[in-house]
Amino acid sequence: MMGIDPGTPGGALVALLPEVLLTAWALVVLLFVAWRHGSAHDSRLAGALSMAGYVLALLATGWLAWQGARAEGLPQMIALDGFRYASDALVLAIGLGVAILSVRWLERQGILAPEYYVLLMLATVGMMLLAGAADMITLFLGLEVMSIAVYVLAGYDRTRRASAEAALKYFLIGAFASGFLLYGIALTYGATGQFNFALIGAQLAAGEASVMARAGMGLLLVGFAFKVAAVPFHAWAPDVYEGAPTPVTAFMASGVKAAAFLALARLLAEAFPSFVELWRPVLWWLAIATMLIGNLVALAQQSMKRMLAYSAVAHAGYLLLALWSHSDAGTAAVLVYLLAYSITTVAAFGILASIERAGARTVLLADLEGLFSVRPFASLGMAVCMLSLLGFPGTFGFIGKWYLIAAPLAEGEVILPVVAMIASGISIGYYLPVVLAMTLKPTRTRQAHQTIRFPGPAKLAVAICVAAILVLGFWPRTVLDFATQEAVQLRRVAIPILTR
């Protein structure tokens, strides 16, 4: 156990060590690419550097977690607890995975602008700040750093109209969401005079629920619902996911969603625990609508990226179940499910990225036919991903689903788990056809799948993800114990302040 007082400059540096390291590294890479700009070799080098940066930040996070760093003194801007370290590690691992997937892919697509990796790292810093924020200002700062970098990344394939369209749509909707969020922060501040989550929680618990505080919370929820693409705030997701470069789509579907959910979990648990009766019904309806509509619309999709986009919407609905529970089990379920979902999403998009050809870039379900006979390992990996998203026993996705529905059940809620299970039952109707098309249908033409390029690093990253899905599906003990222990710390922060 290491006490840190982030109020002092030295303490702040230690508390923010992973973020500071990654930011500094991003700036170094930015300098590097200013000189070495243009050839495929440079782009590859920048990618390797960014991976080193991610590893460095992961080590720093691990060190903080290992030291058991905890906050001392007054309430702070950034959280220092196991939940933040778990969030940071998750977000960093996603960033690392996406960086690895991007390396050769960018060359193949002819996108030779290595600033890509700088933006990726800065977006990750934003996610870490967002997920670790203990204060409204940090929350907003993280959100904006993340969003602005991701707006640019979504439009990174400048020559393609779909990519530009995705960036513009994402930017407009994202700006709206930020507006809602900012207004919500302002109203909450107006009602309580506080920015810190724990202090807001203490104020709200002491006083009555003023209209201003309630409106503030409502606007915050709307802002987050946009970010996580919950129905009815999901309309941007399919177009943006489809248009963005595929590794960026993987980043948005896993990283952005994870960061927003982690931040929302902390916000609801620390700042608004006394409003639980107010936000629960909101999340309840959001979850029901998101799960059902996401899954039903996904059934009709032919484009793989669009299908995965709607499936990402549906998974946001499942995750809302865990938030609804407002319990330690629920928080643990958020961590477990996000881990399962992120690993699977990164692997699935990684495989999809390798199938894409320069030029014709939307992979349809029919394009996967007969993949197994040409690329058996890639299609087995994809099959594992689909089964994991479906929540099939033996994959980590099943463990995640199990935790998700056990959490509200323990609170005595039955309808949410029932709807979640109906929705996931529907989802077999679009996950299994992928497996079927790949393994058991004949290839359309003799030349099919000959253009697939699976570069070594991406192969390794996907293999690790797929292995993790299977291994954690059978031996989830360690992860579950960790998640349960770390999640328990979330709610403890507010208590000492409340009793003071």
Enumerate binding residues for another protein (CB under 8 A): 387, 392-394, 402, 405-406, 409-410, 414, 417-418, 421-422, 424-426, 428-429, 432-433, 436, 439-441, 476-477
Nearer to another protein, 14 or 437 (CB): 437
Closer to another protein by Cβ: residue 112 or 406: 406
Least Å distance, CB 410 to another protein, is 6
Residue 69, H or E segment:
strand 69-71
| Other residues' Cβ atoms within 10 Å of the Cβ of residue 418 | 12
Tokens, residue 441: 């249908």
Please state the separation of Cα 272 from the chain's center in Å. 22
Angle (CA) 61-66-72 rounded to 5° is: 85
Closest distance to another protein from the beta carbon of 429 (Å): 5
Residue 78 or 437: which CB sits closer to another protein? Answer: 437
Closest to another protein by CB, 111 vs 387, is: 387
Total count of residues recorded for the chain: 500
CB of 131 or CB of 420, closer to another protein: 420
Of residues 143 and 321, the one with the C-beta less far from another protein: 321
Residue 475 corresponds to which tokens in the numbers above? Answer: 């031996």
At its nearest, how many Å lie between another protein and the CB of residue 277? 23
Q: Can you tell me the distance from the alpha carbon of 209 to that of 414, in angstroms, rounded to the nearest whole number?
A: 28
Q: Which of 152, 54, 163, 145 is nearest to 99 (CA)?
A: 54
What's 253's DSSP letter?
A: I
Burial of 346 (0-12, 13-18, 19+ CB in 10 A): buried
CB 80 within 8 A of CB 71: yes
For residue 3, the surrounding DSSP H or E stretch is strand 2-4
Q: Write the CA distances from 72 to 8, 11, 447, integer angstroms.
A: 11, 10, 64
**Residue located via tokens 């993280």:** 142
Sorted by sequence, the CB contacts under 8 Å of residue 6 that are 6+ apart come out as: 12, 15, 16, 71, 73, 76, 77, 78, 80
Whether the ω angle into residue 232 lies within 30 degrees of 0, i.e. cis, is yes
What is the C-alpha to C-alpha distance for residues 132 and 494, in angstroms, rounded to an integer?
15
Task: Quote the least distance from Cβ 293 to another protein, whole Å.
Answer: 17
Cβ burial, residue 120 (10 Å; 0-12/13-18/19+): buried
By C-beta, is 190 or 425 nearer to another protein? 425
Least CB distance to another protein at residue 291 (A)? 12
CB of 252 to another protein, least distance (A): 28
Cβ at position 425, least distance to another protein in Å: 3
Q: Smallest distance, Å, CB 428 to another protein?
A: 5
Residue whose CB is less far from another protein, 295 or 331:
295
Using the minimum distance from each CB to another protein, give the nearer residue, 314 or 461. Answer: 314
Which tokens belong to 330?
Answer: 């629920």
Instruction: Using the minimum distance from each CB to another protein, give the nearer residue, 151 or 341.
Output: 341
Smallest distance from the beta carbon of 267 to another protein, in angstroms?
Answer: 28
Residue 332 Cβ, how far from another protein at the closest point, in Å? 13
In the complex, the smallest distance separating the C-beta of residue 454 from another protein, rounded to whole angstroms, is 22
Toward another protein, which CB reaches closer, 339 or 387?
387
The HSE-up count of residue 94 (CA atoms within 13 Å, CB side) is 35
Residue 360, SS3 per DSSP: coil
Q: Which residues contact 44 (CB under 8 A, 6 or more apart)?
A: 103, 104, 107
